[in-house]
Amino acid sequence: MDHTNHPDLPKPRPYIGVLFECCGVYARVYRAATDTAYRGRCPRCLRPLIVPVGPDGTHERIFRAR
Q: Is the CB of residue 38 less than 8 Å from the CB of residue 29?
A: yes
pTM comes to: 0.80
What is the rounded distance in angstroms from the CA atom of residue 31 to the CA atom of residue 62?
14
Per-residue pLDDT, 3: 59
- Decide if 64 is inside a domain: yes
- Decide if 25 is inside a domain: no
- Decide if 3 is inside a domain: no
- Decide if 48 is inside a domain: yes
* pLDDT tens column, 11-25: 888 999 999 999 999
- Decide if 54 is inside a domain: yes
Total domains in the fold of the chain? 1
**Quick one: pLDDT band at residue 2, thresholds 50, 70, 90?**
low
Chain centroid to Cα 10, Å, comes to 17
Domain residue limits at 45: 31-66
- Decide if 26 is inside a domain: no
